Structure 1
Amino acid sequence: MNTRLDTPDATLMHPDERAARLQLAACYRVFAMLGWTEMIYNHITVRLPDSVTGGQKQFLINPFGLHYTEVTASNLLKIDLEGNVLDGGAFPVNPAGFTVHAAIHDNLPDAHCVMHTHTTAGVAVACLQGGLQQTNFYTAQLHGMVAYHDFEGITIHADEGPRLLKSIDGKPAVILRNHGLLAWGQTLPQTFAILWTLQRACEIQMATFSMGQAIPIGEDVAQRCTRDALQFNPNHGAGRDVFDALVRQVDRIDDSYKN
């Protein structure tokens, strides 16, 4: 499958799958544009809707071996919960990547999308004894939303799944200690908004701590900030406007992700 997804040759594909592929491929290019890449590693996964799968749990993931700038709508792999490739892709799946994603997708009903990064700021805060501290504009919008999971090594062992889920406890912004950042949400744009806010909070914290002691934000103020922040709320677009703006930037640079 290497035809452009907006051509007649692709009309046999369910339109909901076509839309999911285009959005996810665009997201990989957005990550690349933002510098959220780690060679050929890390993943963004999306569960295909029941209209496509008939109720089976099937997912789209990047082929292992490609840089994010090489991911396209047609080379995304369709896989099941065990990571088996269902669409005959030419590239394999990275088992260390999907183990964590599978546990979340399978057990959290609202986890339509899962994103994981190893950005410098994210890993740095994940390695910090105190983790993310409530000291800036972005952390104040994540009050009560951040979970922590202790480092257990490379994530290739399925038995870590239940412990990860217990650590997450329904919170969508996850700091994997000594490892990196993770977010999940009901839609890809919502998940992106959560991860972007978490990433920005880590960047500001890293910059602040390099200069000295930070000013703490009180619990009452943080609670109010999180309540007033609407970018995660499905009733207010849940990040769709921001994500679409970034996709438009990608389109101006290189729209080959549509292939």
Structure 2
Amino acid sequence: MANVKASVSAEEWQMRKDLAACYNLVAHYGWDDLIFTHISARVPGPEHHFLINPYGLMFDEVSASSLVKVDLQGNKVMDSEYDINPAGFTIHSAVHEAREDALCVIHLHTREGVAVSALEDGLQPLSQQSLFPLSGLSYHDYEGVALNPEEKVRLVADLGQTQFMILRNHGLLTCAGNVADAFLNMFILQRACEIQLLAQSTGQPLIQVPQTIVDGIQQAAQQVTRNAGGQLAWPGLLRRLDRINAPYAK
């Protein structure tokens, strides 16, 4: 493999490391779906270029150097021995094109996320974790495997300005202005789904959090994270990857 680090800017290399770390973390937490689903990030700079995983590598194999750089149409703009999954990039390109603030987009098919996406009432305010996505959660109805470009319009309309989305009968999606925030969003959304299914599995009556508390959760979230968002936990997550010799920085 060519020396990618020497061929790109320092800013792009940092984005590559962060995105590869996100892939490695998804694998570490058991949220991956073999080689399917994707995480993408916009390359810093004026060009609308993006990084996405090489199709065929497991998430715990993804490194900064192996990420593929493409344009909004999914065409490679830098030499790479790898290809990408065109169906996977359909969803990501739609969000990136519509949302300048969505520099990182995570889409996963976790068991718990897909299960909640199939529930008529979707995510419910049953835990503290659920309140953060519920303060700005959108839904998109299933239209089949994401190969139809016309679906992009409907998907971005459903997403609006939210950072959390449940794709019905499909999975979860989060976006943010950096990789750390997008990962934290996904961690919270995934955990909320896990807790909901555990609570529902008891068959006991459930207590929902009042809507007034849901409405005020964003101010509390800023206090908890000291306005740092995902950046507060990100260094610790990278240290966790270093302890297991994850390849993200290669």
Match of 2:86, as an amino acid?
A: P
Residues 148 and 175, structure 1, Cα contact 8 Å, conserved in 2? yes
Structure 2 unaligned blocks of 5 or more: none
**Among residues 73, 80, 93, which one is paired with 1:89 in the alignment?**
80
Are residues 1:226 and 2:218 paired?
Answer: yes
TM superposition outliers: structure 1 runs of 4+ over 3 Å: none
- % identical aligned pairs: 38
**Among residues 175, 178, 183, which one is paired with 1:187 in the alignment?**
178
Residues 140 and 168, structure 2, Cα contact 8 Å, conserved in 1? yes
Q: Secondary structure at the match of 2:63?
A: coil
1:83-107 Cα deviation digits (max 9, x unpaired): 0011121121101100010010011
Q: Name the residue aligned to 1:108.
A: 99
Q: Secondary structure at the match of 1:256?
A: coil
Q: Name the residue aligned to 2:21.
A: 26
The alpha carbon displacement at 1:243 in A equals 2.1
Q: Secondary structure at the match of 1:239?
A: helix
1:119-162 Cα deviation digits (max 9, x unpaired): 11100000111100111111122333110000000001111001
Normalised by the length of structure 2, the TM-score is 0.95
Q: Secondary structure at the match of 2:139?
A: strand
Q: Name the residue aligned to 1:161.
A: 152
**Among residues 91, 99, 112, which one is paired with 2:90 in the alignment?**
99
1:212-233 Cα deviation digits (max 9, x unpaired): 2321111111122232112897
Q: Name the residue aligned to 2:8.
A: 13
The alpha carbon displacement at 1:44 in A equals 0.7
The 1-side partners of 2:22 and 2:170 are apart by: 22
**Among residues 162, 166, 169, which one is paired with 1:178 in the alignment?**
169
**Among residues 70, 79, 99, which one is paired with 2:70 in the alignment?**
79
The 2-side partners of 1:232 and 1:117 are apart by: 26
Structure 1 unaligned blocks of 5 or more: none
The alpha carbon displacement at 1:16 in A equals 0.6
Match of 2:218, as an amino acid?
A: T
Q: Secondary structure at the match of 2:114?
A: helix
Residues 39 and 107, structure 2, Cα contact 8 Å, conserved in 1? yes
Give the stretch that moved more between structures: 203-212 or 141-150.
141-150
The 2-side partners of 1:182 and 1:65 are apart by: 21
Q: Name the residue aligned to 1:147.
A: 138
Q: How many residues are treated as equivalent by the alignment?
A: 249
The 1-side partners of 2:223 and 2:179 are apart by: 13
Q: Name the residue aligned to 2:119.
A: 128
Residues 231 and 239, structure 1, Cα contact 8 Å, conserved in 2? no
Normalised by the length of structure 1, the TM-score is 0.92
Residues 135 and 217, structure 2, Cα contact 8 Å, conserved in 1? no
The alpha carbon displacement at 1:12 in A equals 4.4
Match of 1:254, as an amino acid?
A: N
Give the stretch that moved more between structures: 140-149 or 36-45.
140-149
Give the stretch that moved more between structures: 241-250 or 200-209.
241-250
The 2-side partners of 1:242 and 1:204 are apart by: 21
Go from structure 1 to structure 2 and tell me whether the alpha carbon gap of 1:232 and 1:118 turns closer, same or farther (over 3 Å shift): farther
Go from structure 1 to structure 2 and tell me whether the alpha carbon gap of 1:83 and 1:138 turns closer, same or farther (over 3 Å shift): same
* RMSD of equivalent CA atoms: 1.6
Q: Secondary structure at the match of 2:175?
A: strand
Match of 2:8, as an amino acid?
A: M
Match of 1:221, as an amino acid?
A: I
The 2-side partners of 1:33 and 1:198 are apart by: 17
- Aligned residue runs from structure 1 range 45-60, under 5 A: 45-50=40-45, 55-60=46-51
Go from structure 1 to structure 2 and tell me whether the alpha carbon gap of 1:155 and 1:12 turns closer, same or farther (over 3 Å shift): closer
Q: Name the residue aligned to 1:36.
A: 31
